[in-house]
Amino acid sequence: MRTAFIETLFKLAKKDERVVLVVGDLGFGVVECFMREIPNQFVNAGVAEQNMTGLATGMALSGKIVFTYSIANFPVIRCLEQIRNDVCYHNANVKIVAVGCGMAYGALGISHHATEDLAIMRALPNMIVVAPADPIETTLATNALVEHEGPAYLRLGRAGEPIVHGSIPNFQLGKAITVRQGNDITLISTGGQLFETIKAADVLCTQGIQARVLSMHTLKPLDSEAVLAAASQTSAIFTIEEHSVIGGLGGAVAEVLAEANLTLHYFKRIGLNDTFSSMVGDQDFLRVQYGLDSSGILGTIEKILGLSIPDLRKRVAR
């Protein structure tokens, strides 16, 4: 995802000198094109994320379209006060980009795990929150955010994420992408979890369970219409995210359902259950440990619906 983001932003920056990339002294393997070819649109702020955010705000208020870039929690939690008071309060045209979110930097421990960021950024006034699922969505999201006026958060994976979409989807900020149609249950995924979600849906399909799969790439504003349609047309909704179940995708969907006074047969948030990861391992290993791989997702569905996979269709049929 990070390569797709940098390559897309670089192309846009060469066409528009207002586009500026500010980094926190990292990523030189992928940002070298900026440094070499358009140095006047590239700033290395050093390991000083608070200053990076303040600098970006000033540049934005002077007419620039500024992207700040660092890994995991560093461009978010480390400089949250500056994001709140400088970027959001002034409605500045700053896009905060975090790479390696979720548990992508698994072996480096919780200091490098971004598993509360969606909840934090959703709560900030004026902030758009975007978590694309694959390199294709990342490219489309980057284009959309350059056009969007105002604060935004772009949550990315690290590198090597598989391409999920077989063709270019219709991408709009605030509108979910229907990856697969289905009228039995709905699986709503955000970020890099879409790949595992589709694999789970494939298994369900072999057992006669038609799962609707939504890529909810924008958490704020959330696509309420897609959520409400799923609630009225299917019997169960499962949200899947590499993030705390508190305040992220699951929380956002639950808010929509509660305020609409809708009652589902089943609703379950699949994510980290209010915990830090005390284990050491790569992202794939940690996903398995926390039930965020396709097998874990299927296991949760089976447990919640109370039946084995071959019997699920009988239980969810309306």
Which active-site residues does the annotation give? Answer: 49
CA distances from 100 to 47, 115, 233, 314 (A): 17, 11, 35, 40
- Which amino acid belongs to residue 119? A
| Residue among 295, 231, 277, 229 nearest 72 (CA) | 277
Calpha distance 22→26 (Å, rounded): 10
- Of 96, 202, 139, 182, residue with least CA distance to 1: 139
> What is the CB neighbour count within 10 angstroms for residue 86?
22
Task: Report the alpha-carbon distance of residue 311 to residue 308 in Å, rounded.
Answer: 6
Q: Dihedrals φ, ψ of 116, to 5°?
A: -130, 0
The continuous run of DSSP H or E covering 154 comes out as strand 152-155
Residue type, 161: E
Token readout for 54 is: 């303040």
Contact 284, 293 (CB under 8 A): yes
DSSP H helical segments within the chain, as ranges? 2-15, 28-37, 49-61, 80-82, 117-122, 135-147, 194-206, 224-233, 249-259, 283-289, 294-305, 312-316
